[in-house]
């Protein structure tokens, strides 16, 4: 009795630590994926980033990672567990009868074809769920950002109806995925049962031929049931694991551009040669055959009416936009965004204030002498203030 209790206690302890170790491994892998994506995004040039689906990256960091954890990483651990169980049972069957062992291996090989034939269903379903999550996030952020406008015009119903519409999109995608997954499970279960019947029938033939005793039918039935159940579960989780592979495309599509190493050491001049630019939604050029030189040490005052192209000019120089015609040179040579950023800085009027403390907003993670940092804060009158409390003018 004491031995039994000890064995149960060991089982409970193993189960407790198993879940903790598994979750630690899952979170470590999820963190690695997020950091990989963040690293690749950080290497993108601004002109590329401005065209990218920023909303898609946000959705991937949260929604898609959750899908990968639930249907990918956890499926992997389930596969490992049931695969090990199935292998031990196969060894037991081999020791029992080599002919039944060979038959079961053949049937398992046929059963293994199911995931390859039906994986397009679950892949398609997962992509639809991912797209639905992305769409819902976009709708939600849109109405939340425009909440004041809706409130001012007494259009609160639009806020609720938009969230309702987004929720319906997610619900429909998840229900459709459940239908596809159910179909796959039914096919696997059908083949599983058919395989067990084939083993029982073969066992009966062996008993009839005198190769096995009548009592062997019960033993082979029990073994085959557990074997096919184990490998059936493996196939189901394998299909789930395989279905998330399209989600990883977001890491490679559009964010694989490698950041060039800056080749410029000093700033001499920026030359614009017959530069023209127009936004795609406007027929008139903001800049047309513009030629000018900005030299080191010079002070320039760019004036003009709102929408005349002042900010656009700076964005063109810093590679956040590309000219429709003409060329821009740094030190009389073509350059990359990394070249210009390494020798100059561009501070936008509507500089983003991060949800960090004030020091982090000023240093942006760089190592700065604390005495210098304190002096700067005192000079601009923001010492002891949190960044979230800064007004628009003081923040810029």
Residues near 74 by Cβ (< 8 Å), separated by ≥ 6?
Answer: 22, 26
Lateral strand order in the sheet of 269-277? 287-295, 269-277, 325-330
pTM exceeds cut of 0.85: no
For residue 140, pLDDT over 90 is answered with no
Structure tokens at 17: 């630590």
Q: What is the pLDDT of residue 147?
A: 77
For residues 91 and 214, the answer to whether their CB atoms sit within 8 Å is: no
Contact 59, 133 (CB under 8 A): yes
Q: How far is CA 209 from CA 103, 206, 222, in A?
A: 17, 5, 21
Res. 396: pLDDT tops 60: no
pLDDT band at 291 (very low <50, low <70, confident <90, very high): very high
Please indicate whether residue 215 or residue 31 has the higher confidence score (pLDDT). 31
Looking at the DSSP assignment, which residues form a beta bridge with residue 327? 273
Q: Is residue 264 within 8 Å of residue 339, measured between CB atoms?
A: yes
pLDDT tens-digit profile of 214-242? 878 888 888 888 898 898 888 888 888 88
- Among 74-83, 173-182, 365-374, the range scoring the smallest mean pLDDT is 365-374
Which are the contacts of 248, defined by CB distance < 8 A and separation ≥ 6?
A: none
Identify the CA nearest to 131 among candidates 301, 247, 304, 279: 247
Encoded tokens for 286: 């903001």
Distances (CA, A) of 105 to 29, 224, 238, 318: 34, 11, 18, 63
- If you average pLDDT over residues 108-130, what whole number do you get? 81
Burial label for 231, CB within 10 Å (0-12, 13-18, 19+), is buried
Instruction: Give CATH 1.20.1560.10 domain extents, the chain.
Output: 40-252
Q: Specify the CATH architecture of the domain 269-341.
A: 3-Layer(aba) Sandwich (3.40)
Residue range 40-252 in CATH 1.20.120.1810: no
For 361-392, the DSSP string reads: HHHTT----HHHHHHHHHHHT-TT--GGG--H
Q: At 250, is the pLDDT very low, low, confident or very high (cuts 50, 70, 90)?
A: low
Q: What is the pLDDT of residue 391?
A: 46
Strand partners, 271: 293, 329
Q: Locate CATH 3.40.50.300 in the chain.
A: 269-341
Confidence of residue 176 (pLDDT cuts 50, 70, 90): very high
Residue 201 pLDDT > 70, yes or no? yes
Q: φ and ψ at 210, to 5 degrees?
A: 85, 5
């Amino acid at each position: 009795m004491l031995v039994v209790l000890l064995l149960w206690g060991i089982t409970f302890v193993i189960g407790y630590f198993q879940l903790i170790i598994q979750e630690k491994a899952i979170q470590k892998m999820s963190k690695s994926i997020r950091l990989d994506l963040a690293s690749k995004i950080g290497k993108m040039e601004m002109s590329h980033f401005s065209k990218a689906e920023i909303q898609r990256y946000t959705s991937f960091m949260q929604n898609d990672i959750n899908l990968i954890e639930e249907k990918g990483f956890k499926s992997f651990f389930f596969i490992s567990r049931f695969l090990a169980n199935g292998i031990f049972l196969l060894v037991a069957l081999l020791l029992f009868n080599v002919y039944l062992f060979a038959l079961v291996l053949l049937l398992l090989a046929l059963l293994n074809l199911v995931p390859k034939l039906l994986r397009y269903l679950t892949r398609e379903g997962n992509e639809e769920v991912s797209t639905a999550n992305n769409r819902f996030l976009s709708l939600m952020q849109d109405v939340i950002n425009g909440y004041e406008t809706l409130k001012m015009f007494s259009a609160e119903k639009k806020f609720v109806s938009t969230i309702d519409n987004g929720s319906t999109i997610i619900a429909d995608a998840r229900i459709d995925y459940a239908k596809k997954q159910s179909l796959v499970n039914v096919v696997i279960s059908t083949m599983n049962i058919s395989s067990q019947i084939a083993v029982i029938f073969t066992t009966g033939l062996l008993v009839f031929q005198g190769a096995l005793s009548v009592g062997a039918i019960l033993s082979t039935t029990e073994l085959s049931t557990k074997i096919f159940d184990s490998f059936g579960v493996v196939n189901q989780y394998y299909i789930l694991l395989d279905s998330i592979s399209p989600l990883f495309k977001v890491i490679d599509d559009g964010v694989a551009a490698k950041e060039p190493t800056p080749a410029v050491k000093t700033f001499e001049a920026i030359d614009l040669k017959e530069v023209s630019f127009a936004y795609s939604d406007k027929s008139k050029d903001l800049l047309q055959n513009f030629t000018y030189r900005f030299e080191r040490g010079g002070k320039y005052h760019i004036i003009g009416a709102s929408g005349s192209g002042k900010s656009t000019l700076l964005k063109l120089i810093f590679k956040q936009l590309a000219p429709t015609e003409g060329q821009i040179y740094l030190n009389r040579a073509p350059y990359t965004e990394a070249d210009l950023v390494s020798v100059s800085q561009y501070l936008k009027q509507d500089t983003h204030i991060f949800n960090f403390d004030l020091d982090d907003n000023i240093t942006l993670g760089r190592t700065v002498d604390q005495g210098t940092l304190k002096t700067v804060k005192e000079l601009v009158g923001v010492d002891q203030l949190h960044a979230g409390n800064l007004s628009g003018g003081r923040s810029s």
